């Protein structure tokens, strides 16, 4: 919680404590009117400190908040006619509503956590045949750096020596590592997986990709229009109208049909102002939104502010990342085809050949085999980046890799056209079979997107860093309207801006992602939804809503809760207005005093809270 908000809460708590003490003192002792005035005035000033401060800040900015002015005038008027206890109580109610709203708003505006997890900690500089570990910020253009397996690439560079595979998921979301060699460009924040390489620096650290991604997130957060609270929109019209009406009640009757009865009509005007004061309305709305937030939490959905529920209920465009969001982000063996041997024999042979590799595909093959690996049976292993791996297993030379490797080893195969990654297996010079590996679509993904398309009439968009041949089949299977592939983080943001540009004020765009590369678009979207269990810290911090268990169908739950919350908000507003109009009429004709007016505010508040509990108990 922000320091200023904490201070406001502490001061308010002290004020309430003083107020209770004053009530206790007046009930136990007989005090003079001046003593009561001083004691209640102290409690009043402390309790309403935040309100006075907000009024002063608004005045300095030339934006006078009339609802604050109205509550201050009415409570000061209550002190003027000797209603000290009532004046403090009304101020306490109003300030409580303001604090509840401030807490909700603060949660929606939490700053994005630093993406420290992809910042390289050091760089290895090669100079005059010697290697030296230095901070990445000290690297200069054209410096030669050495990057070993397992190390992060410190700056954007071009490979001058060696071949390797690079994990680019941090930037592109692509689960399959990319093979790179001499003259290929590599980007900061990515991880070198397999081979030692040397590279020439082409961008300084301050201009590197990893820092540009961070700047994109911050800029997107700043450019994101803040959803104006529903109650603020309403009170912008309601408050000045009620304020003018209260003044008319005070001054019109004494100079017309009730000439000279200034005391009576000023008192009624003050009561009118108290009744008309929007503190009940101010409280009823955030209470409903907080009820929606609590209900979402019970379903494993973290919502950072009530305004995001309001925006989610209006959403008509949903943008999804692919890997780790629509798909599981884990490679699995989907199909095994053999030639002259059994399925188990082929998997055993391939698993032994791949047993020393840390490549994700190798891990999926080992998992599919599931047996014990006897490393003594494997030797003369040779890995060829971009092709595959060869090794001698039980006296036979086994080649495991892509179609190009089979051509290189002069193994004739029938090229298989299918979705996913095809691994061919050759034994000496004959074809032994192939294995199809896929990144499976998440459970409930089809049902969730079908609901969004058919029930919400939403436009479905895929923005992914994955290659076209792996992304488009997923988009087709999920019946998405648009799919954009091979995107870097800045490209994703550019595409998102295009969709935002064509929206009107009644439409909202939701972005769903899980990786660091999704953080800029999650921050820029009207509502960003992150897969919280496996998602990166950057995506979680940039998002407005977090699915804690990575279950896509929770998006449907969140939409139901958002709509139910807005329904409760509407009910609370309607009830508060109906009661207020009724009481205002009674006040004008003299049937209501200050205590009755305060009681009405309490009733409105209690009903709003009880109504909000229906959202809390909501079960999707």
- Cα–Cα distance measured from residue 294 to residue 279, given in angstroms and rounded to the nearest whole number: 22
Give, as one character, the DSSP assignment of residue 152: B
Give all strands (DSSP E) within 178-231, no chain letters.
Answer: 178-180, 185-186, 191-192, 197-201
- Can you list the alpha helix ranges (DSSP code H) found in 299-359? 306-313, 343-353
For the chain, the distance separating the N- and C-terminal CA atoms, rounded to the nearest angstrom, is 30
Distances (CA, A) of 116 to 113, 156, 213, 520: 8, 17, 12, 15
Question: Do 156 and 202 contact (CB within 8 A), yes or no?
Answer: yes
- Cα–Cα distance measured from residue 266 to residue 274, given in angstroms and rounded to the nearest whole number: 12
Phi, psi values for residue 225, rounded to 5°? -65, 130
Q: Which of 167, 321, 514, 518 is catalytic?
A: 321
Which is nearest to 429 in space by CA: 408, 412, 416, 414? Answer: 412
Give the Cα-Cα-Cα angle 59, 274, 84 (nearest 5 degrees): 95
Give the Cα-Cα-Cα angle 201, 178, 160 (nearest 5 degrees): 30
Query: The tokens of 220 are what?
Result: 């997107």
Count Cα neighbours of 136 within 13 Å in the Cβ-side half-sphere: 26
Question: Do 387 and 401 contact (CB within 8 A), yes or no?
Answer: yes
In 10 A of CB 397, how many CB atoms? 14
Question: Do 542 and 522 contact (CB within 8 A), yes or no?
Answer: yes
- Report the SS3 class of residue 326: coil
Question: Do 285 and 573 contact (CB within 8 A), yes or no?
Answer: yes
Query: The tokens of 82 are what?
Result: 């000797």
- Cα–Cα distance measured from residue 384 to residue 557, given in angstroms and rounded to the nearest whole number: 48
Q: Is 127 left (phi over 0), alpha (psi -120 to 50) or beta?
A: beta
**Catalytic residue at 321?**
yes
Which is nearest to 569 in space by CA: 287, 313, 238? Answer: 287
Looking at the annotation, which residues are catalytic?
A: 321
């Amino acid at each position: 919680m922000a320091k200023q908000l904490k201070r406001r809460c502490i001061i308010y708590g002290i004020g309430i404590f003083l107020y209770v003490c004053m009530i206790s003192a007046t009930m136990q002792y007989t005090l003079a009117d001046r003593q009561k005035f001083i004691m209640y005035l102290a409690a009043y000033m402390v309790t309403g400190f935040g309100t006075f401060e907000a009024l002063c800040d608004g005045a300095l900015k030339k934006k006078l908040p009339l609802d604050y002015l109205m509550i201050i005038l009415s409570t000061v008027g209550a002190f003027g006619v000797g209603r000290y206890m009532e004046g403090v109580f009304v101020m306490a109610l109003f300030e409580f509503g303001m604090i509840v709203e401030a807490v909700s708003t603060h949660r929606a505006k939490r700053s994005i956590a630093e993406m420290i997890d992809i910042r390289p900690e050091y760089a290895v500089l090669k100079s005059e045949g010697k290697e030296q570990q230095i901070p990445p910020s000290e690297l200069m253009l054209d410096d030669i750096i050495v990057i070993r397996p397992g190390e992060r690439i410190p700056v954007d560079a071009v490979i001058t020596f060696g071949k390797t595979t690079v994990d680019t998921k941090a930037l592109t979301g692509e689960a399959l590592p990319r093979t790179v060699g001499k003259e290929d460009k590599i980007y900061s924040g990515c991880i070198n997986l397999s081979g030692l390489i040397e590279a020439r620096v082409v961008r300084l650290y301050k201009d590197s990709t990893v820092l540009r991604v961070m700047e994109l997130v911050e800029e997107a957060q700043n450019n994101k229009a803040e959803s104006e609270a529903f109650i603020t929109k309403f009170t912008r019209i309601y408050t000045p109208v009620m304020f003018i009406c209260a003044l008319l009640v005070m001054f019109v009757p004494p100079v017309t049909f009730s000439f000279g009865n200034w005391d009576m009509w000023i008192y009624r005007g003050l009561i009118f102002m108290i009744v008309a004061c929007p503190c009940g309305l101010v409280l009823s709305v955030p209470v409903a939104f907080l009820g929606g937030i609590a209900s979402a939490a019970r379903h494993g959905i973290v919502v950072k502010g009530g305004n995001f529920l309001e925006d989610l209920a209006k959403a008509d465009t949903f943008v999804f990342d692919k890997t780790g969001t629509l798909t599981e982000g884990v490679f699995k063996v989907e199909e095994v085809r053999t030639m002259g041997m059994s399925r188990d024999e082929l998997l055993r042979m391939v698993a032994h050949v791949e047993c020393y590799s840390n490549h994700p595909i190798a891990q999926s093959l080992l998992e599919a085999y599931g047996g014990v690996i006897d490393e003594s049976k494997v030797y003369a292993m040779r890995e060829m980046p971009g092709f595959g791996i060869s090794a001698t297993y039980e006296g036979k030379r086994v080649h495991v890799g892509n179609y190009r490797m089979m051509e290189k080893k002069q193994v004739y195969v029938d090229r298989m056209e299918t979705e996913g990654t095809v691994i061919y297996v050759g034994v000496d010079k004959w074809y032994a079979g192939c294995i199809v590996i896929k990144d499976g679509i998440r459970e409930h993904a089809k049902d969730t997107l079908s609901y969004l398309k058919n029930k919400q009439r939403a436009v479905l968009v895929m923005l992914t860093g994955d290659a076209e041949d792996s992304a488009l089949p997923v988009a087709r299977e999920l019946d998405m309207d648009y799919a954009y592939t091979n995107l870097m983080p800045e490209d994703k943001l550019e595409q998102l801006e295009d969709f935002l540009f064509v929206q009107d004020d009644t439409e909202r765009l939701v972005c769903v992602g899980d990786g660091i590369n999704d953080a800029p678009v999650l921050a820029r979207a009207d509502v960003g939804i992150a897969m919280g269990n496996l998602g990166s810290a950057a995506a979680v911090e940039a998002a407005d809503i977090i699915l804690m268990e990575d279950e896509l169908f929770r998006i449907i739950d969140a939409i139901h809760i958002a709509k139910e919350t807005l329904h409760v908000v509407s009910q609370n507003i309607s009830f508060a207005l109906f009661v207020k109009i009724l009481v205002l009429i009674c006040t004008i004709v003299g049937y209501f005093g200050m205590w009755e007016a305060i009681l009405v505010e309490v009733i409105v508040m209690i009903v709003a809270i009880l109504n909000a509990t229906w959202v809390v108990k909501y079960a999707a």
